Amino acid sequence: MRSRTTSLATVLLLNLLSVTALHADDTHSWNTINVQHSLTKQWLLHLGSDQKFVEDMTEHGIWTLFAGAYYKATGNLSLGFEVHHWEKKNAGDWTEENRFTPVVTYKETIKPFVLTFRERAEYRTRKGDDNWISRNYLKLGLAAQPVSPYIANELFYDLTAEKFSENRLSFGLDIGLSKKVKTGLYYMYKSNEKSGDWIGTNVFGTALTFIL
């Protein structure tokens, strides 16, 4: 029964993907690799990197290094802090940005689903400018192993400019390869506000996690 539910959910996500992908102006490939290590039952460390290919996946345009520490306050609630070093290529030159981010994550199992809510208060600093971004993330996944389909949305609000600046709607699969290795595949429709218009981008992504 669980296998059938997983298959139906996967087919539904693929159909939603095909409809959404028709309305984008560009296509990206995002790839994440990270390592996690539990210090204790309450404390978790992780570090990793993002590599993003833009311009219809023909140019390496963005890369990120990140690290974070998380404290499991209860069975459902974790508190964390992340640091990201982010660089983007503009006209052949790389521009730098550093991000400092408190994170609150709440997870609840409502069988057969797992609901995840995450709030990031992201301080972004770069040469001559800085701002605060609130990132509100909601994910509904199927409580299944080793493959769990999910749908998620992340809404960005620029607290400095006082406006919504970005939205990320994604459909994907979380896949447990073993107890120590996890991977993920997803499609995302990313839309960014620019001068009152919303610009759409297709994103095809992968994630690989090693647990030490």
Per-residue pLDDT 10s for the chain (212 aa) are 555 555 555 555 555 555 555 566 799 999 999 999 999 999 999 999 999 999 999 999 999 999 999 999 999 999 999 999 999 998 889 999 999 999 999 999 998 999 999 999 999 999 878 999 999 999 999 998 899 999 999 999 999 999 999 999 999 999 999 999 999 999 999 999 998 899 999 999 999 999 99
Q: How many domains does the chain have?
A: 1
Q: Minimal CA–CA distance to 123: which of 153, 103, 150, 143?
A: 103
Q: Where are the alpha helices (DSSP H) in 24-122?
A: none
pTM confidence score: 0.88
Work out the end-to-end distance of the chain between its first and last CA atoms, rounded to an integer number of angstroms.
33
Domain that holds residue 11: 2-211
Residue 65, strand partner residues = 49, 85
CATH code where residue 182 lies: 2.40.160.40
